[in-house]
Chains A and B, each alone.
Chain A
């Protein structure tokens, strides 16, 4: 191809701003080459540089506790769990690729996050995901046709949902990692901008972890894994734009995943790291060779000389620009210790993978790219990367105008329904609350035979063979709360994920986050962003769960509206004794049901009904404020539940969340479909019954316990000033709350377990 003239108008097409272009000229002392312009534009894109978010991210607690490396230092966070073991975990978005090609977009999202984990030397032991789509429930049953023009919006959402799930399943299942937990929400605001966030968790011995730092002048640099093709060129820039009709025509940007090659790459990578031949290693995600060479060099304060003629190519006639920016999947850059080349080559050969030396480490801090005898790029790595010379912006902030109306809305004006049985059944079968087995039964959630708590409950739990330990993991975010109050919503996302993990008997250790927002140049969006971060930071400090890293996804926005601000939290918890793992459902008749939490009153309930699933699903409104949250109290509550599970005083623990008290209690009855246990509940009302039953009051946990343990439970709760309210007993095969609600369990289970299937299939 003939390369166009380099000037600002070209740079603008690459997504660069005028002062950014001028800065490039200043850094280089000359006009960049075409390849260099591509390198700068992709490295300075939002996706790679975090230029509009890094100032906010730095306010988060990013070290301390059990963290072995600080946030952002390596491909993923690393947390000490004792016994010489560490957990690597991270969450990442693949929203834009999934919007145009849901199957491959989701699949390569999973592939990318798995590579981040095993590049650290950690074997992936669990995958999770957090998904958002437009509403699916108002279309025809089974309608999932892809042609946009001929189908309802619900049909389009179903098409995206179905293929995203299939993409995640096919990739993870073949790779051999259990997909053990997740969340799926359906809201109109995600109609044009679905969110697909994938998380992976891996385990590594302390002395076997790898670094993404290049070092050792003269050490050879290898490219390993798949060959390089033309796929995904400028994917990182693509992820930094709004979705528009043009996005459809950008389909070639979407990469295709190959989970089998990824599995080979996993085994070979772990083997080569253990062999001691590796100095540094980084996977090639966004911006491929460009990103890996510059980031590794910058981190190691060295340079690299790379000869692109040696890179194994899949397509003929590729230019230097295309090779540098290709986002072909399943590749890694490896710096090998000089003299140990053959060890690395033999290992990759065993797994039938490419392992080709393409350059070496140099002292001069320059990345020099040669191709066909020509120096195509000569750039200082430090100036390309986040934390180095990449631009950093502080954006304008403005409190969103909609707050006022939402908060002024009189929730008492909502009509009180007569038949609360019907309301409960409707909520339990609404897609946001209903059981997601239609989704997780397409994921192999048991491979590697470690999954102790299967998907479908609060958090999922995997045991660690050869130890007494287990990990509890959960992804969580209620975007509606964050929309109504970004600060409280951010805190709640952290608190709820921690509470979920604590309900399984695990101590929350650390989080990873995936921050999905609209266009950061919109001051209202940026307000949401900075307030949500403030909330996350405050909650993490109180709960002592530092942020290990994650990902920011802006531009989840179409012409006139953004998605709900959706900062998804991935929480990691540790269980020291696998025998003390706790589950959420009632176990047997004759147990006492108690609620741990804060005392509620008419005012608190009226606040906490705001933004609820009840107000949304039953009344079609998104009004009011987010529920209140007291992080100090949350911390005490979690200490109580951990103490109770540790002393084996409770038989089940489940927190109150979407759908409120009544839905949570119903879930306790039916969450073990093989052994459902009914209950009789007595509630003292103050104010409206519907509000009391469905308010999403935070920091509340429903437990069931043998009558003989109640005294002890009360004593422990009192030590921490946590209120305990005896609320009923487990009994029979009906679900009863006073006289308002009385339903057979099989009726509530029917909608809860089958509604998504009924919507998705004929």
Chain B
């Protein structure tokens, strides 16, 4: 059993109004050193695969097919093995 931790973020060239709003709030709370804030999505998949490679392949396909839209989003993921079926 594997866990795939997927991060999806808006592509750098795209305006992120949510990130901007949150940055504004942080600044108003006194977090002056924060210079940039970007909001993304975090998705966790539990994958029943025979190998890490297979789990990575499934993650990649899931991202390309559904989880991320390449027109506006980039994605990264990290697959780790977990014990048994919990």
- A residues touching B (Cβ–Cβ < 8 Å)? 143, 145, 147, 150, 762
Contacts and interface: CB of A to CB of B under 8 A. Distances in A.
For chain B, give the interface size range: under 10
Nearest to B24: A762
B29 interface: yes
A156 to B, nearest CB: 14
| Most chain B C-beta atoms within 10 Å of own C-beta, residue among A143, A145, A147 | A145
A14 to B, nearest CB: 33
A654 B14 CA distance: 48
B85 interface: no
A143 B28 CA distance: 9
A762 B24 CA distance: 10
B32 to A, nearest CB: 15
B5 to A, nearest CB: 21
B39 to A, nearest CB: 16
A150 B25 CA distance: 12
Interface string B12-56: 000000000000110011000000000000000000000000000
A145 B24 CA distance: 10
Nearest to A155: B28
Contacts of A150: 29
What are the nearest 3 A-B pairs in CB distance? A145-B25, A150-B29, A145-B29
B20 to A, nearest CB: 11
Nearest to A150: B29
Contacts of B24: 762
A147 B29 contact: yes
Interface string B54-78: 0000000000000000000000000
7 contacts: A143-B28, A145-B25, A145-B28, A145-B29, A147-B29, A150-B29, A762-B24
A147 B31 CA distance: 14
A150 B28 CA distance: 10
Contacts of A145: 25, 28-29
A143 B29 CA distance: 10
B7 to A, nearest CB: 23
Contacts of B25: 145
Nearest to A146: B25
A559 B53 CA distance: 60
B29 to A, nearest CB: 6
Contacts of A762: 24
A481 to B, nearest CB: 38
Contacts of A147: 29
B80 to A, nearest CB: 22
B65 to A, nearest CB: 20
Contacts of B28: 143, 145
A37 B25 CA distance: 46
Nearest to B25: A145
Nearest to B86: A316
A150 B30 CA distance: 10
A150 B29 CA distance: 8
A509 B3 CA distance: 59
A145 B29 CA distance: 8
A147 B24 CA distance: 14
| Most chain A C-beta atoms within 10 Å of own C-beta, residue among B25, B28, B29 | B28
A762 to B, nearest CB: 7
A147 B28 CA distance: 12
Nearest to A145: B25
